[in-house]
Structure 1
Amino acid sequence: MSKVILITGTSTGFGKLMAITLANAGHNVIAGMRGVTAKNAEAAKELGALPNIEVAELDITSDNSVNEAISKTLTKYGKIDVLVNNAAVSGFGLLEAYSLDQIRNMFEVNFYGVLRTYNAVLPSMRANKNGLIINITSGASGHTLPFMIPYLASKFGVESITEGLQDELSQFGIENVSIQPGVYPTEMNNGSKSGIHADKPAIIDEYGDTATQQFNALGSALFSKMAEFKMDPQTIADGVLALVNMPKGERPLRYPLDAVAQGTDQEFIDARATIKAKWLAKYSN
């Protein structure tokens, strides 16, 4: 059965592949992106020429833009069955070398952008007592790594949203799932898409060669594993399609898609769920 699916951040990477994959499967896709007549005009034209895809101007850092895109979709289709929060920005650097404004910029996209889309879409989903919201987080969102602390903190925040709202929205039949990707060769990771990085060079200098060597070693490890396991971004698009096609009530809260992890991501998810259940039991007695 064809569904109405709105995806954020479709100009490149995972989002673009999701839009194409879901449209090819027969779903009506609203492909949200910024600058459809400016910086992303070419991507908008490419996607808009495909069957079952409608491109929408959508800047997740703007309340007005998010509300307008979702309002127009609801006016045309009467509902939104699935929302995919994909739009995000990465960033690297020492935590101390990040200004607070730079961290706020990171959260404005990765965290508050997700809250904006939720707030805009939930009234209609609650009225219909149906909906699926898929949030793209990170394979490391349950913990953290050096030189990626603001980025992973923002993604862990989205994990918290997903998990908490699963209970709050259950009475309305709205399901929430986080997809936890590992490292994939997308524009976010290959340097072609600008990120929000540490912006205090004087602090970076004070950390010296030790921090530089640690950062380079981490980057080399991540990229070598990406090549070793032939990480294909299409895996994430296929994962979204699989979640959309799953029967209601059978979707997992967390859906890891990281071959490099070799099952340890699912092990971590299961262990965390088990410990949480024990914690809740202690507070319930």
Structure 2
Amino acid sequence: MSKKIFITGTSTGFGKLTAITLSQAGHTVIAGMRGTNGKNEAVANELNALPNIEVVEVDVTDDASVKNAFEQTLAKYGNIDVLINNAGIAGFGLFEAYTIDQIKNIFDVNFYSVVRTYQAVLPSMRAAKNGLIINLTSGASGHTLPFMVPYLAAKFGVESITEGAQDELSEYGIENVSIQPGVYPTEMNTGVKTGINADKPEIIAEYGEAATAKFNAMGGALFGKMAEFKMDPQAIADGILELVNMEKGTRPLRFPLDAIAQGTDKEFIAARAETKAKWLGKYTG
């Protein structure tokens, strides 16, 4: 059955691939991106030319822009069956070397944007007693890594939204799923898309060569694994299509898509869920 699907961050990477994949499967895709008449005009025109896709202007860091994009979409299509929170930006560097403003920028793109879209779409989904919200987080969103602390803290936050909202919205027929993508060669990880990185050079200098060597070793290992496992971003788009097409009530809370993890991510998610159930049982039993 064809669904009406709103996706954020469709100018590149997972978002663009997902828009194309879902539209080819017969779903109606509202492809959100900023700069449709500016830096992203070419890709906006490319997607608009495809069947079942309409590109809409939305800046996920701007309250009014998000509100306007969803109001326009609902006025035209009547409802939104699925929201996919894909828009995001990476950030690398020593935690101490980030200014507060730079960390706020990371959270604005990766965390507060999700708050904005939830608040924009939930009234209509609650009224319909139906909906699916898919949030892209990170393969490391169950733990953290050095040199990515603010970025992963924001992704932790989105995991919290997903898990808490799932319980709050269950009686309204709205499902929430987070996807843990692992490391893929998208513009976010290849350096094509500039991240929000540590911006205190004096602190970076004080840490010296040891920190630089550790960072380079971690990056080299991740890129080596991407090549070894032939990580293809299309796997995320295909996984999202699988989730969209699943029967209501059968979707998992967390949906890891990371071949490099070789199943350990699924083990971690299962173990965490089991321990949480025991923990909550101590309070409710």
Q: Give the TM-score taking structure 1 as reference length.
A: 1.00
Secondary structure at the aligned position of 1:169 is classed as helix
Measured in 1, the distance between the counterparts of 2:281 and 2:91 equals 38
Matches within 5 A, 1:38-187: 38-187=38-187
Q: Deviations over 1:55-110 (max 9, x none)?
A: 00010001111111111111111000000000000010000000000000000010
Percent identity among equivalent residues? 74
1:257: how far off?
0.1
Q: Deviations over 1:220-266 (max 9, x none)?
A: 00000000000000000001000000000000000000000000000
> Where does residue 16 of structure 1 map in the other structure?
16
1:169: how far off?
0.3
Unaligned runs of 5+ in 2: none
Letter in 1 for 2:186: T
1:118: how far off?
0.2
Letter in 2 for 1:203: I
Q: Deviations over 1:193-245 (max 9, x none)?
A: 01000000000000001100100000000000000000000000001000000
Q: Deviations over 1:6-39 (max 9, x none)?
A: 0000000000000000000000000000000001
Q: Does 1:265 align with 2:268?
A: no
> Where does residue 193 of structure 1 map in the other structure?
193
Letter in 1 for 2:145: L
1:144: how far off?
0.1
State how many pairs are aligned.
285
Letter in 1 for 2:251: R
RMSD (CA atoms): 0.4
Secondary structure at the aligned position of 2:205 is classed as helix
